[in-house]
Copies of this chain bind each other. A is one copy, B any other.
Amino acid sequence: MTDVVVVSNRGPGSFRIEGGRPLRAPAGGGLAGTLRPLLAGSGTTWVAAMLGEGDRLAAGQGLMETDGIRVVPVDVEPAAYQMAYDVIANGTLWFCHHHLFDLARRPRFDWHWHEAWAGFRRYNRAFANAVIERAPSGATVLVQDYHLSLMGSMLAEARPDLATVYFLHTPFAEPDMLEVLPASASGELLRGLAGFGACGFHTERWASAFRRCFEDGVLAEGAGVDTVPPTFVAPLGPAPEALARSAEDGATRAALARLHEAAKGRRLIVRVDRIELSKNLLRGFQAFEELLETRPRWRGEIVFVAFVYPSRELLAEYAGYRSEVEHAVERINERFGTGDWTPILYDPADDYPRSLAALVAYDVLLVNPVRDGMNMVAKEGALVNERDGVVVLSRRAGAWDELCDAALGVNPFDVTGTAEALEVALLMSASERAERAERLRASVRARTASDWLADQLAAARR
């Protein structure tokens, strides 16, 4: 795949400095963690931001390859990077696509924000320039995620020879929500996206929201676009073999033993999530509280295992949300806990083996996001779980489209409905559990990460 260029904010590896030398940092998860094994050894070029002094030092020393992937580092000026990444990508576009704005108060497009948008444009321009300079003639360019939404028109103008594909890992905003942005910004965003040869999404729902934005009179006029770009749907799935290996390894098994000891043989409701507003941790705990409040039979019988990990701690919204979540946990544990039983086992450490152990062990997996591009936890859980556990899944997660026949669906805003679904899951017969778990595994196995990458390459060829 030497004629393929992948573009994403985070690259396949990063460096820290130790003793004055650049040292490869442990690989992270997320998008880069998904793509790296797919591209390893392929000779693909991967354009990604330099994320710190370690990366800069490594680039200066020519350490430009990771796992047989040729890395092209983009050196974005730190001020523009911070504005693009924190203020626009994570502070605005993430909230917009996930419908998380508290519109009476936020967003607030003041002059600081408009300056940040200019930084976002420069950030996209820096990535575009790297591709424009380095991509072989006629190459296929796969641009990943909301950070890089403006690149399409930049590439189309300078390098019409390239086959460009965009893939969005979040939902896409409904027209009314995209109209919240200043018209200049939403216009630039839609023009940027319209420049790609094709735009891909995890589900038809996000693809159709995207098309509705282009068909919306106000947005289309503001953007000066008159056609809807080609779209495709390519759900991402886990890589089953790698996941199975991780579930079997010693660290996971040790974490599993610790979990069973802590739960003292009680049945487990599990959630594994970033501490993130879209994940809906608060209502998950409230649903558990309502279950304990209205069905006392469950008190002392079950443990809610919340293995969550911090995210975007520099954004005030996230720090505030985390503290609300932790207060809810304390309140519920205080209200119902006994000397022998802590209702919620809450642990906000970033510990992958611990999270994976919880997925192996759940009786019920609660995945209740208010809106979610895909949600890989639901799929990974289905694959590694060893107890015929039941998945209680938000109908607003992208994964719902694939898992709706086997998971129990909930409206994530309906605390009562979620409590009821948890009880239905706890009371489900062993045979129905086994049958649903088998269907879940079959649905997940039907789509792997390789299929997802292949779909993007196919979209580029069309």
Across the interface, A105 reaches (CB within 8 A) one of B282, B290, B416, namely B282
If over half of A's interface residues share one DSSP class (helix, strand or loop), that class is named, otherwise mixed; here it is loop
Q: Is there a chain B Cβ closer than 8 Å to A341's Cβ?
A: no
Contact A110 B174 (CB under 8 A): no
CB proximity to B under 8 Å, residues A368-418: 370-371, 411, 413-417
**Contacting chain B: which of A50-58, A82-90, A96-104?**
A96-104
Residue of B at shortest CB range from A183? B411
- Fill in one digit per residue for A268-300: 1 if any B CB lies within 8 Å of its CB, else 0: 000000000110101100100010001000000
Residue of B at shortest CB range from A293? B111
Q: In the complex, what residues of B have CB within 8 A of residue A104's CB?
A: 100, 102, 277-278, 280, 282, 321, 370
Residue of B at shortest CB range from A104? B277
Across the interface, A413 reaches (CB within 8 A) one of B107, B111, B114, B413, namely B107
What is the distance, in angstroms, from A103's C-beta to the closest C-beta of chain B? 5
Q: Is there a chain B Cβ closer than 8 Å to A180's Cβ?
A: yes
Name which of A109, A294, A321 has the most chain B CB atoms within 10 A of its CB: A109
Task: Give the size of the chain A interface in residues (CB under 8 angstroms).
Answer: 38
Copies of this chain, tallied across the complex: 2
Name which of A103, A108, A290 has the most chain B CB atoms within 10 A of its CB: A103
What is the distance, in angstroms, from A186's C-beta to the closest C-beta of chain B? 10
Known: A104-B321, A176-B99, A370-B104. A114 touches B280 (CB 8 A): no
CA distance A278 to B99 in the complex (A): 17
CA distance A182 to B105 in the complex (A): 25
Residue of B at shortest CB range from A279? B104
CA distance A415 to B180 in the complex (A): 12
Known: A104-B100, A104-B321. A109 touches B282 (CB 8 A): no
What is the distance, in angstroms, from A461's C-beta to the closest C-beta of chain B? 32
Contact B414 A109 (CB under 8 A): yes
Residue of B at shortest CB range from A180? B413
CA distance A294 to B104 in the complex (A): 24
Q: In the complex, what residues of B have CB within 8 A of residue A174's CB?
A: 174, 176
Q: In the complex, what residues of B have CB within 8 A of residue A294's CB?
A: 111
What is the distance, in angstroms, from A422's C-beta to the closest C-beta of chain B? 14
Residue of B at shortest CB range from A102? B102
Q: In the complex, what residues of B have CB within 8 A of residue A286's CB?
A: 108, 110
What is the distance, in angstroms, from A143's C-beta to the closest C-beta of chain B? 26
Q: In the complex, what residues of B have CB within 8 A of residue A110's CB?
A: 286, 290, 415-416
What is the distance, in angstroms, from A366's C-beta to the closest C-beta of chain B? 16
Q: In the complex, what residues of B have CB within 8 A of residue A100's CB?
A: 103-104
Contact A109 B417 (CB under 8 A): yes
Chain A residues engaging chain B, CB cutoff 8 angstroms: 99-100, 102-105, 107-111, 113-114, 174, 176, 179-183, 277-278, 280, 282-283, 286, 290, 294, 321, 324, 370-371, 411, 413-417
- Report the 5 A-B pairs with minimum CB-CB distance, sorted nearest first: A102-B102, A104-B277, A110-B415, A109-B414, A182-B414
In the assembled complex, 9 residue pairs joining A and B whose CB atoms fall closer than 8 Å, in A order, are: A103-B370, A103-B413, A109-B411, A109-B413, A109-B416, A110-B286, A111-B290, A179-B411, A183-B411
